[in-house]
A and B are shown apart, each in its own frame.
Chain A
C-alpha cells in the first residue's frame, strides 16, 4: 500500500472519529435510513391489550413505510425488567435505539442521565399534535424528554352480576364489604402515588397545604386499616392478580385501567361494568393516568432522529389517533383536535369522564416517587398489616411528599 493511500485512509478514519458526531448534519451522519424502535412490554399490562397495541403499531409502521418506501423501521419488543439492561448493552456498543415506546412510570430523568435517551425539539406545529398539559409534564429543565402516545385512564371495574353499580365513595366500599361484597385493592410498593391520589389527596401540591394533606394522609391510612379489617376486602400487590381476581369471581370490584378491558370483557362479556373511581375522604378521586411515551434515543444520526420524529408525528396525527381510539376502545387520543363520538361508544365516554379530573405528575415528581416507592410502600403495608398505627406513619408519608418537587399541573 502506497504511503499516500495509507495517509488518505488515516485521514478518512480520523474524520469519522472526530468530526462526525451524532449531531452532525452532513456526510456520514446522513447514513442510515433505518431506525430501531424498542417497545417496553410491561408485566403489568393486559396481555391481550398488549398484543393488540403491538399489532396496531406494526400496521402503522407498515403504513408509514408505504408512504416512505426508502425508510426502514425495525420494531422490537422488550420486557420491562430487561429494558435497562438492553439499553445499556446496546448503548455501549453504539447501537442505542432511535425511538422507545415506554410505560408512563419510567424514570426518564434517570435514563437521560445514563445517556440512553435525549430530548427532542418540537416546532409549534408539531406540538399541536399533543394536549399541552400532557406535553408539559414531560419537560425537564426546559427540554422535552418525551411525548405522549395515548392516554389510559384509571377506572373502576366491577361484575354487574354481583354488584349492580360501582360505589361512589370509599366509605361505600367499606359498607359494601361489610355486606359480603368482595373488593380487591392494589397495595403495590410502586403504586403509592396511585393509591393516594385515588383518595383525592392533593399530594403533588404538598407544601402549600401540608396541614390539610397531613389529615388527608392520616384519613387515607385509617381507611386502609379499616378496609383490611374487612374479610371481603383484599389487598394484592400486582395488577395481574387484581385482573384474575375479578375474572375468577374472587372480587366483585377492582380499581383498573382502561388497558385491562380486553381481558376483562373477554371473560365477563356484558357483565363487566366500568365507572369512574369513587371519591375519597379528601374529595373527588384524582387518579393518575397512564400515558405510554415516545422517547428518543441518544445515538441517532440527524437523519435517524428526523425519521423517528416523523414516525411519532405520524402515530399521533388526527387520523391515526382517532382510528386507534375507536379501534382499540381502550385508549384516548393525545391529539387535542379529535372529537370522539362518545354517544356511540359508552366505554370511551366513561374514560373521557375519568380524565376530566386526573393528577398529572412532572418528570421530577415521578423521579422522586420512584426513588422513594419502596420505602413509602413499606410504610403503607405496615399500616395495612397492623405493624404500625396510621398516626405513626402519616407524618412520615407527609414529610416524604413535602420533600417532593412542587411543580405540578392539572388539565
Chain B
C-alpha cells in the first residue's frame, strides 16, 4: 500500500505541473464556452430542420448538448496542440469523452432492437461504471507507467501476494462479468431464437443459461488471471462446503435449485403455474428465474411474488404451460329448474359459451348434467381458453352470457326454496283458548 501511496503522490505532483494546469485551463474555458452556447442555442428544445423528414434525428436529439460539449473540447485541445505543441493530455480527455459519447449513441441504436429496460440497466450497471474505471486507469497511464501500477503488490500473506491489477480484476472484473453478461446473453439467445424458432419461454430460459455460462466462464478466466492456486481453491472449496452445510445451506440450496430448474426446463420464464398455496384460482406467470429466487407475476392484484427456488422442489405445482400446450380448461356451474329438458339446457350452454371471444372453438365447449340437487339440476359448461392467465375473466364472461341466454329463453335459475309447515297446536295452550 505504501507503494501505491507513493505513486499517487507522484500523480498529484504531475497534476500540479504548469503545462498540465494549462491544458486543464483550456478545457475549463471550453467547458465555460459550452455552458454559454448551450444556454443560447437550446439545441435539445428547438425544432431542427428536416426533423420530420428524418425521424432518426429525434433519436439523437437528446445527445445534441453532449455533442456540442465534445466539439468545444476538441476545438480547445486542437488549438492547444497547434499553438503550443503540448496538449496530448487535453486531447486524451477529449478523445475519452468522445468514446463516452459514442457509447451513448450506441445505446440509442441498441434501444431499437433490445428492450429499453435491459439497455438502461446495462448502461447504468455496466457501461458507465466500466467507462469510469477505464477512464481513471487510462488517465493515470497518461502520467505514469500503468504496467508498474498494475504489477504493484498491494496485499501480502505468507509467500503469496496480490497485485493491484489482480485486485482490480477480482473486484471490478467479477462485478462486470456478472453484471455485463445479460446483454450479450440476450443477443445470443435472440440469434438462437431466430435460428431454431424457439418459443418464448425456451428463448428466455436459454438467455438465462447463456448468461450464467458467460458469467461462469468469465469468473474462471479471472481466477486464472489472478493465478489462484488449484490447491488453494480446493482448500477454499472445502471450507466453503462446511459453511454451506451450516449458514449458507438455504442460499446454496436455492441456487442449485434454480440451476436445476433451468437445465431441466420444468419452469421457464413465461410459464404459467399455480402454487399449491394459490388454491388453483390465481395462476402466476414466471417473470424471472433468478439465482436465489423466482419472480412470479399474479395478474389479479398485479403483484410480483418472490418465491425461493427450492419451493418448486418441495411443493407440488400445477402448470398450464408444460410439455403439451398452454391451453387451460375452465368451467362454470349453473342450476336450471327441473321442468326444462336437460338436452335443451345443455345445447344452450354450449352455444352460449361459443359466443365468448376468448373461448376456443376447438376443443369445443362441453355441457354436462352433473347432478340433481334439491332445487335445481346442476349443469356445467366446460370450455378451453388459450391463455391460462385469463381463467377468472373468461369464467365471468361465460357466467354473464349464460344468465342472459337463460333469461332470453325463459329458463329459470331456481334458488333453493324451503316450505315451512306450522306444528299443530296443543290442547290447553293459549292458542286453543
Contact = CB atoms under 8 A, between A and B. Distances in A.
Interface of A: 6, 9-10, 13-14, 16-17, 20-22, 24, 28-29, 31-32, 34, 36, 72, 74, 89, 91-96, 115, 299, 301
A74 B10 contact: yes
Contact of B86 (A6, A14, A20, A93): A93
A115 B136 CA distance: 29
Given A16-B22, A93-B20, A94-B23, A115 B85 contact: yes
30 contacts: A6-B32, A10-B32, A13-B25, A13-B26, A14-B29, A16-B25, A17-B26, A24-B18, A28-B21, A29-B18, A31-B18, A31-B21, A34-B16, A36-B14, A72-B13, A92-B86, A92-B88, A93-B19, A93-B23, A93-B86, A93-B89, A93-B143, A94-B20, A94-B89, A95-B17, A95-B19, A95-B20, A95-B89, A299-B18, A301-B17
B269 interface: no
Given A16-B21, A34-B13, A72-B13, A94 B28 contact: no
B13 to A, nearest CB: 4
B22 A94 contact: yes
Nearest to B14: A95
A22 B22 CA distance: 10
Contacts of B28: 9, 13
A215 B25 CA distance: 63
Contacts of B87: 92, 94
A93 B25 contact: no
Contacts of A89: 88
A13 B13 contact: no
Given A10-B29, A14-B25, A95-B17, 10 more contacts: A9-B28, A13-B29, A32-B18, A72-B13, A92-B86, A93-B19, A93-B142, A94-B22, A95-B19, A299-B19
A94 B86 contact: yes
B18 A17 contact: no
A10 B36 CA distance: 12
A30 to B, nearest CB: 10
A47 B301 CA distance: 79
Contacts of A91: 86
- Residue of A89, A95, A299 with highest tally of chain B CB at under 10 A: A95
Contacts of B14: 36, 95
Contacts of B142: 93, 95
A31 B87 CA distance: 20
B204 to A, nearest CB: 49
A28 B23 CA distance: 14
Interface in B136-192: 142-143
A316 B14 CA distance: 27
A329 to B, nearest CB: 32
A6 B18 CA distance: 22
Contact of B22 (A6, A10, A20): A20
A91 B17 CA distance: 12
Contacts of A94: 17-20, 22-23, 86-87, 89
A395 B142 CA distance: 50
Contacts of B32: 6, 9-10, 13
Given A6-B32, A13-B25, A299-B86, A95 B143 contact: yes
- Residue of A6, A13, A32, A96 with highest tally of chain B CB at under 10 A: A13
B86 A17 contact: no
Nearest to A76: B145
Interface residues of B, number: 26
A32 to B, nearest CB: 5
Nearest to A17: B25
B19 A22 contact: yes
Nearest to A89: B88
B249 to A, nearest CB: 54
A36 B11 CA distance: 12
Nearest to B19: A94
A76 to B, nearest CB: 9
- Residue of B14, B23, B92, B143 with highest tally of chain A CB at under 10 A: B14
Interface in B71-92: 85-89, 92
Contact of B13 (A10, A32, A93, A96): A32
A20 B18 contact: yes
A299 B16 CA distance: 13
A92 B81 CA distance: 8
Nearest to A15: B25
A91 B28 CA distance: 21
A17 B89 contact: no
A123 to B, nearest CB: 24
Contacts of A20: 18, 22
B145 to A, nearest CB: 9
Contacts of B85: 92, 115
Contacts of B86: 91-94, 299
A19 to B, nearest CB: 10
Contacts of A13: 25-26, 28-29, 32
Contact of B16 (A24, A31, A92): A31
Nearest to A12: B25
Contacts of B20: 93-95
Contacts of A10: 29, 32
A297 to B, nearest CB: 11
Contacts of B19: 22, 93-96, 299
Contacts of B21: 16, 28, 31
Interface in B20-40: 20-23, 25-26, 28-29, 32, 35
Contacts of A16: 21-22, 25
A220 B201 CA distance: 89
A216 to B, nearest CB: 45
A74 B13 CA distance: 10
- Residue of A16, A21, A32, A94 with highest tally of chain B CB at under 10 A: A94
Nearest first, the 4 closest Cβ-Cβ pairs linking A and B are: A94-B19, A16-B25, A34-B13, A92-B88
B25 A32 contact: no
Contacts of A6: 32, 35
Contacts of B10: 74
- Residue of A9, A72, A92, A299 with highest tally of chain B CB at under 10 A: A92
Given A13-B29, A17-B29, A32-B17, A93 B22 contact: no
A394 to B, nearest CB: 44
A89 B89 CA distance: 10
Interface string B113-143: 0000000000000000000000000000011
A29 B19 CA distance: 10
B7 to A, nearest CB: 10
A175 to B, nearest CB: 53
Contacts of A21: 18
Contacts of B16: 31-32, 34
A95 to B, nearest CB: 6
Interface in B332-359: none
B316 to A, nearest CB: 65
Contacts of B23: 93-94
A16 B21 CA distance: 7
Contacts of A9: 28, 32
Contacts of B22: 16-17, 20, 94
